[in-house]
Amino acid sequence: MAQPDTFKPWVWAVFAFNTLFNGIFAVLCFATFSSFRKMMDDTSFTFPAGTDKNTWEWLFDGAAVNAFFALILVVLSVAFAIRYMIFSRRALSHPRSSYGKGIMIATSLFAALHMINIATQFLSFEPAMTHWVRDYHAHFNRVLLMATVAFGYLSAALQLLFLFMLLVWHNREAEALDRVALAHKDEAAFGLSDMDDVRYRFSGPGEGTSQQEQPPGRAT
């Protein structure tokens, strides 16, 4: 009887939490960007002297574009996970499922690195936002900004954890069965080769000769 894959529920649990945190991070990115745009459109807020409003708009627009690309990577990662973890004929723990596992590892790695980049970019805005809120009474939610940063790093950590679990997820029983099957295949091929060699060495001089090739008068 085949033994159950005890590692599979843990992989699914990490994948579920990973998807949940990625969704929360995407919502927080949108909310932070909306809060910044409201601050930009607020007529009661006067920018500090020497501060270029257009420059800060470009900075937050760039962060929003990065978040959009991260969302695309997350959607691809989830789509590949559903494809290879649910609808694949061979489980990802199988030793011959390296193609699907490689695609999921690559998308998870790219998504994790991109999330770290976005969270760090949002974190770099925090000193300026604190200064504006405290000294210039800007209407900006700094708690929302820091929550976005925190969930960005947590989402990246879960992506890396999911990647690690894919790397170490192996079905030992399937690997053993594959080794046995390969050994039997090699033995069968070796046995056929030996039989051909024996048949060639010990065949009689007239074996395989047709009646037409026999001398006249000997035909039966």
Q: What is the pLDDT of residue 167?
A: 83
Q: What is the pLDDT of residue 84?
A: 76
Say how many C-beta atoms besides its own lie within 10 A of residue 25's C-beta.
27
Report pTM: 0.71
| Six token digits for residue 132 | 């504006």
Where the chain has pLDDT below 70, the residues are 1-5, 87-97, 170-220
Give the integer Cα–Cα distance in Å for 77 and 178.
29
Segments making up each domain of the chain, as ranges: 8-171
Q: What is the pLDDT of residue 113?
A: 93
**Cα torsion for 181, 186, 188, 190, to the nearest 10°?**
-170
Q: What is the pLDDT of residue 186?
A: 53
